Structure 1
Amino acid sequence: MTDRLGHKQTAAMFTLMVLGREVPNPELQELVGFTLTGKERTQLKDSGYITSEKIGRPFVHQLTDRGWAWCEDELAAGSPPPPRPQSVLCSSMYVLLGGLHGYLRREKLRLANIFEADPGPEPESEPEPDVVVEDLEGRIRIAYRELVKEPRGWVGLVDLRPKLGEPADEVDAVLKELSAAGKIHLVPEDNRKALTAAHHEAAIRIGGEDNHLLSIEVL
């Protein structure tokens, strides 16, 4: 059995496991209510469980092979790490994880077979509305590529929108879909004093928060 981690680190590891891809701190905050920073982040990185680097403004984290192995071992732990949590839901979750561990062993599967991100093949044909979305996605990527100054850099929506020439609601719908699929990252501008009326108008609201910046990992 590998070393047990603290409750917050364990929650972060399982979240990265389920998403199966790079996850920026703002998305982690939106999903589980905290970010991975400070000593907790460096311990996981130094232990070889995650890769963690600053891409633009936020830290972005992803499980390593060793991190996947730790998660597989933690499934069989039987109970949460000490100190014992007050929530019965947390304790019952480990019963569920133990059942998942048993299934994986019986079927000779690994966690990555279930959770690792895999977009899969593109469908041969799409209904008409999806064709329009796909075309707009392509134009978003082209506009981003024209504006970005470094790989996976951040581009302001205030600069991106004028290049698209589409109604704001249509652009918002595609951006939200791409964000939910993990194809793009949207974050707020840290320096709120630098925001103008145009920045506020161009922002997209997700999870009760206005996002002003866009990053795309793969062009």
Structure 2
Amino acid sequence: MTDRLGHKQTAAMFTLMVLGREVPNPELKELVGFTLTGKERTQLNDSGYIASEKVGRTFVHQLTDSGWAWCEKEIGEGTPPPPRPLSTLCSALYVVLGGFDGFLRSRKLRLADVFTPAGLIEPATAEPATAEDLETRIRIAYRELVREPRGWVGLVDLRLKLGAPAAEVDAVLKKLSSAGKVHLVPEDNRKALTAADHEAAIRIGGEDNHLLSIEAL
């Protein structure tokens, strides 16, 4: 069982989950009719489920890794959190979420494999990025994902950040790898790999590589 949250906090968590990015309070109010402030915000901050930053006069919120983990557990609860009674629509929503949870588990997918920031994927009509542009975007995405200098970042997470065609990303990464500008290695714990990890891997020298490290940023 998860640590159940109140209705408003749960709604906020699911909204941040679906959007998969930073969400300012005015946008949150437009989408779900309320803002995340006061005790309800600080409780989520203190729990480590969301990170909030004040930008100008408003707060901007984003799910943390712990927040994503909480959402993954919550969608499998089967019933809404107390207090009750709740509307039949809310109860039905949790039935749907339970089915969605089963779908993800059967395919070994994570919520982050499904929900990505709107507009992350480039339109088909957009001009293709040059190799130089894509290299810059790769470095920026790596910097946003890495947790320590020269740390390892999963290619599945990198590709989600880039939203660029796989073949173009592969070509740039192979070129950078050959030049010694990036390091690509396989995941040692193969049992931890998801279907998304396998799909995101880049094959070099007959070996699938799942992790990326860049020394100079």
Note closer, same or farther for the CA distance 1:99–1:38 as it changes in structure 2 (3 Å cut).
same
1:36 aligns with 2:12: no
User: Which TM-score applies when normalising by structure 1?
Assistant: 0.55
1:66 aligns with 2:55: no
The runs of 5 or more residues in structure 2 that have no matched partner are: 128-217
1:120 aligns with 2:110: no
For residues 116 and 124 of structure 2, the distance between their equivalents in structure 1, rounded to whole angstroms, comes to 20
1:194 is matched with which residue? none
1:54 is matched with which residue? 54
1:10-29 equivalent positions in 2, closer than 5 A? 10-29=10-29
For residues 121 and 30 of structure 1, the distance between their equivalents in structure 2, rounded to whole angstroms, comes to 25
Task: State the Cα distance separating 1:85 from its structure 2 match.
Answer: 3.6
Task: State the Cα distance separating 1:41 from its structure 2 match.
Answer: 0.1
Q: Which runs of 4+ in 1 moved over 6 A?
A: none
Note closer, same or farther for the CA distance 1:32–1:50 as it changes in structure 2 (3 Å cut).
same
**Cα distance per residue 1:156-180 (max 9 Å; x no partner):** xxxxxxxxxxxxxxxxxxxxxxxxx
2:75 is matched with which residue? 75
SS in 1 for 2:60: strand
1:57-206 equivalent positions in 2, closer than 5 A? 57-117=57-117, 119-121=120-122, 123=124, 125=126
For residues 45 and 30 of structure 2, the distance between their equivalents in structure 1, rounded to whole angstroms, comes to 22
The runs of 5 or more residues in structure 1 that have no matched partner are: 127-219
CA-based RMSD of the aligned residues comes to 1.5
Task: State the Cα distance separating 1:121 from its structure 2 match.
Answer: 4.2
Task: State the Cα distance separating 1:64 from its structure 2 match.
Answer: 0.4
**Cα distance per residue 1:63-92 (max 9 Å; x no partner):** 001000000000111100011243100000
